[in-house]
Structure 1
Amino acid sequence: MDMVSATFRFYEELNDFLPPERRRRAFTCACARAATTKHMIEALGVPHTEVELVLVNGESVGFDRLIEDGDRVAVYPKFEALDISSLLRVRERPLRVTRFVADVHLGGLAHLLRMAGFDTLYETGFDDARIAALGADEGRIVLTRDRELLKRRTITHGCYVRALKPALQLRELFERLDLAGSARPFTLCLHCNVPLREVDKAAVLDRLPPRVRVLYQHFLTCDDCQRVFWEGSHWRSMRALLDPLLAERGDG
């Protein structure tokens, strides 16, 4: 096979996907002459969905750029503090609405995202093909801890979740994807992922525990599962989890 040689350097958290000897340093490797930047980035272990900017010899390029002999390739994750929108070449367009599909191992995170008001699909029966299709067809960000899933060509927007516990996973996404400004807490059913609506107390009185009938006056309901929600101890626990994440937008 006809080969070329190129030098790669990955930055910040992208190094987590590399073997120790290749982290935070430039290294040279052989590439097939027909290899694209996407092919080589993923062959080296980094899902393309984690990449925001690729520079080849100092020029911003797309994932379809062919690797040439002697190329120097710098690969960057999402920039947290700098606006580099004018440089971006790796995706055709941003998503207009932030919504998700989570893999079968992220059920706890899916419920917390719904709590924060983000449309999040999750079912234990979803296989990788179904998740990839939902991401592509409905413009959803794929959430997973499976890097091989994120390497699928049809997935344009995805996020490799590093944290192991749901509360920490939620914090990770709020920080990485800057979610505070678009959160709408307690507007979706945690179980059905459909909008909640306000309901008169009299209409749900027969579904309320005796103590709740006395203590609470304001209620929300889900038209799919018929559950009723009020601002009780569970709500206060969820509020305590969300408030620090929402502090940046100042609406607590």
Structure 2
Amino acid sequence: MVTATFRFYEELNDFLARPQRRQSFSCACARNASAKHMIEALGVPHTEVELILVNGESVGFDHALQDGDRVAVYPKFEALDIQPLLRVRERPLRVIRFIADAHMGGLAQLLRLAGFDTLYDNHYEDARIEALALDEDRIVLTRDRELLKRRTITHGCYVRTLKPEAQLREVFGRLDLARSARPFRLCLTCNVPLRRIQKDEAAGRVPEGVFERHAQFVTCDVCRRVFWEGSHWQRMRALMDSVAGSAHAPE
């Protein structure tokens, strides 16, 4: 056995036992235990970690810990430039896509509203989520830290809040999504692009009063529903503007 000293920073402390939070503490480790193994053994999913320093030097998840090592573990940096250091993920995702677990249905719909391709099915098992995240380069959204510890899940977000609108604001802020949002592009049910149609194509597919009052319509080619800019659209527009604005607002 070897002994290493750990210190976790900022929101990573939320995953630790109370006596270990916001302070350095010693921990016995198996000989040749990797940094990733010990970080997750202490309760922190590897997807929440952006940078690991061992004795002041940046290392990857596979670094073997030695007796007397001092390990500092950091979450995603918002303002500090760590470009010269080794981030623990090889690359960012070029296209932002999500997969949400069974408890994230409301958040999934709101992310689709914001224009983000988001897979969701409340029957997905963890193994299926892991496979889809790997095959399609998707960010896993969950409140299940054990899911985020799965080896092949490289990008994930542990969602701390409980209500969908609060979850949307949290994810927008943590992943800096405001600049990438393209609202009202996807069907909230089918997660496929909406298509603009001529007004006459909406005849008989929307209420008569709606057809008379509106000139612009879009449809989903999967579920065949037709959408227009009514009062519900206006409420959703206000939500999107609010979320994008709060993501950029100074704290």
Please state which band the TM-score falls in when normalised by the shorter chain: over 0.9
- Provide Cα deviations, 1:166-223, integer angstroms capped at 9, x if missing partner: 0000000000000001000000000000001110110111101022012111111110
Shift of 1:246: 2.2
Q: 1 CA distance for matches of 2:233 and 2:155?
A: 31
Shift of 1:116: 0.1
* Aligned residue in 1 for 2:176: 178
Gaps of 5+ in 1: none
Q: 2 CA distance for matches of 1:189 and 1:147?
A: 29
CA contact (8 A) 2:178 2:244 kept: yes
Write the letter of the residue equivalent to 1:221.
T
TM (normalized to structure 1)?
A: 0.96
Q: 2 CA distance for matches of 1:82 and 1:209?
A: 53
1:187 aligns with 2:185: yes
Structure 2 counterpart of 1:160, from 158, 161, 167: 158
- Provide Cα deviations, 1:28-64, integer angstroms capped at 9, x if missing partner: 0100012100000000000000000000001111000
Shift of 1:154: 0.7
Q: 1 CA distance for matches of 2:84 and 2:174?
A: 20
- Provide Cα deviations, 1:91-115, integer angstroms capped at 9, x if missing partner: 1111100110000100000000000
1:40 aligns with 2:38: yes
Q: 1 CA distance for matches of 2:50 and 2:67?
A: 23
Shift of 1:143: 0.4
Q: 2 CA distance for matches of 1:47 and 1:208?
A: 47
CA contact (8 A) 2:202 2:211 kept: no
* Aligned residue in 1 for 2:244: 246
* Aligned residue in 2 for 1:115: 113
3-state secondary structure, aligned to 1:133? helix
TM (normalized to structure 2)?
A: 0.96
Write the letter of the residue equivalent to 2:171.
L
* Aligned residue in 2 for 1:28: 26
Q: 2 CA distance for matches of 1:180 and 1:46?
A: 27
* Aligned residue in 1 for 2:195: 197
Q: 2 CA distance for matches of 1:32 and 1:181?
A: 44
3-state secondary structure, aligned to 2:129? helix
Percent identity between the two aligned chains: 72
Q: 2 CA distance for matches of 1:74 and 1:204?
A: 59
Kindly report the root-mean-square deviation, in angstroms, between the aligned alpha carbons of the 2 structures: 1.2
3-state secondary structure, aligned to 1:175? helix
Shift of 1:81: 1.4
- Provide Cα deviations, 1:9-40, integer angstroms capped at 9, x if missing partner: 00000000011110000000100012100000
- Provide Cα deviations, 1:127-155, integer angstroms capped at 9, x if missing partner: 00000111111000000000000000010
Q: 2 CA distance for matches of 1:112 and 1:42?
A: 30
Structure 1 counterpart of 2:224, from 223, 226, 232: 226
1:4 aligns with 2:6: no
**How many residues were matched structurally?**
248
* Aligned residue in 2 for 1:126: 124
Q: 2 CA distance for matches of 1:86 and 1:235?
A: 45
Question: After TM superposition, where is structure 1 displaced by more than 6 Å over at least 4 residues in a row?
Answer: none
Write the letter of the residue equivalent to 1:245.
V
Q: 2 CA distance for matches of 1:245 and 1:83?
A: 25
- Provide Cα deviations, 1:216-247, integer angstroms capped at 9, x if missing partner: 11111110110111111111111111102223
* Aligned residue in 2 for 1:97: 95
